[in-house]
Chains A and B, each alone.
Chain A
Amino acid sequence: MMLLLRELKIMLRSPAGAIQSLMFSVLVIALFPLAITPDPDQLEPLGIGLIWVVTLLSCLLAADKSLAGDYADGSLEQMVLSDYPLWWVCLVKSMAHWVSCALPLLLMAPILGAMLAMPLDRIVWLMASLVLGSPILSLFCMLGAMLTVGLNQSSALLPILIAPFLVPTLILGTQWATTGGEAFYGYMLAALLCLSLVTLPFATAVVAKIAVSR
């Protein structure tokens, strides 16, 4: 709990990162109709996919920054040496990443959906799919961030490394929302979330030990 509070405090005192990833997403959604077509009939089917892709990209782009500070000032070393279980530290970092990247987008989803002429029921399914899917993105992004933290080209390496792992989530999430909640996709997405929650923090913890010994 103390770790989570610390993350949130740091985030609130330097909100530039969270604002930047939200601005990126809102701008893409705002520019898309201008560049393609303002016709609601053509825009509406694109909405779910577009907002999902934007969520995925903003999570991916913010990932390396979420650990760079802790690595540079030595907090990461101290967390590895602490009495807290390391998987818990990694889970908290993933949660903090989710709060700074995915949560603002989730809250903005009704507005973004309206900008793409989506009807209300589709917006609701979009939000439901993001609630289930975006934590998986954050868990994977934290694994990628831990793998590349401290490397010279980490921000270039990370998306290439992690993007393939995000594709199943993207497919299941968008399909679930597009089909209006077909049970198969929903169950698969929920299963993927459970699997990620119980495995990825442990994998990230193993990688964290390697990261601090570099």
Chain B
Amino acid sequence: MLQIESLSCFRQDRCLFKDLNAKVLPGQALQIVGENGSGKTTLFKILAGLFEEYDGRVITAAGSLYLGHRYGVNDQLTPVENLKFLLKLNEIQLAPGLLMDALARFQLSAELDQPCAALSEGQKKRVALARLILTSARIWLLDEAFSALDAPGRAVLSEVCQAHLASGGILIFSSHQGIPEFAAAAQLRLEVGS
């Protein structure tokens, strides 16, 4: 479960959001909606535990995985090395076959032995997203995870997210593109200058 209670945040004397309330139960998705600069990324950082200057309460009852605009893929390492590192950060050790399968699911199999510098932005993002298939985190915080992906990539990500929800996971995401699969998800709206 993830619960937000009267959450307010100020940055540089500007009120980003005030008195947010939300409750997300296992198996539910929550979309964070708002214009550029309305504080979506700050909200994600607060939920992930990266940003601690806020009023109110955030209650999380499970481990979370945060993927932001910068998602931790190093240019010098190959996709497999990157994925292995990101998983080991949460002490997940896996057989190489499973890593390959996860990368293949995101249509990365031809690029596995070259450094990520040679990959396109969308492909690098897929490397980071492959982590979702293998993680044990129950709360996913995906800040603009659907951007920079092509249509097949978005389709795979939606499938993975739906499987996560079906298994009782929690999904918090933001997206400027409409994601038809999650059109019915609850929304939390942030207003600029509220």
Chain A residues positioned under 8 Å from B115 (CB to CB): 13
**B53 touches which of A69, A77, A81, A213 (Cβ 8 Å):** A213
A75 within 8 A of B: yes
Query: A75 contacts which chain B residues (CB < 8 A)?
Result: 72-74
Contact B85–A2 (Cβ < 8 Å): yes
Give the interface residue-count category, chain A. Answer: 20 to 34
Of A2, A13, A14, A78, the residue contacting B72 (CB under 8 A) is A78
With the chains together, A2 CA to B90 CA distance in Å?
12
Task: Determine if A68 is an interface residue (Cβ-Cβ < 8 Å).
Answer: no
Residues of A within 8 A of B71 (CB): 73-74, 78
Interface residue? B35 (CB, 8 A): no
Separation in Å of the A84 CB from the closest CB of chain B? 7
Bound form: Cα–Cα A77–B65 in Å: 11
Number of A-B contacts (CB under 8 A): 65
- Minimum CB–CB distance from A214 to chain B (whole Å) comes to 9
* Chain B interface, DSSP helix/strand/loop, else mixed: loop
Q: Which of A2, A69, A74, A82 has the most CB of B within 10 A?
A: A74
In this complex, the interface size class of chain B, counting residues with CB under 8 Å from chain A, is: 20 to 34
A88 to chain B, nearest CB (A): 12
Chain A contacts of B70 at CB under 8 A?
A: 72-74, 77
Contact status of A212 and B74, CB under 8 A, knowing A6-B85, A79-B89: no
Q: How far is the CB of B156 from chain A (nearest CB, A)?
A: 21
On chain A, the residues within 8 Å of B52 by CB distance are 209, 213
Q: Counting CB contacts under 8 A, is B88 at the interface? A: yes
Binding site for A on B (CB under 8 A): 45, 48-53, 66, 68-77, 81, 85-86, 88-91, 115
Known: A73-B74, A83-B89. 15 other contacts (CB 8 A): A6-B85, A9-B76, A10-B76, A13-B115, A73-B70, A73-B72, A73-B73, A74-B72, A74-B73, A77-B72, A81-B66, A83-B90, A212-B50, A213-B51, A213-B53
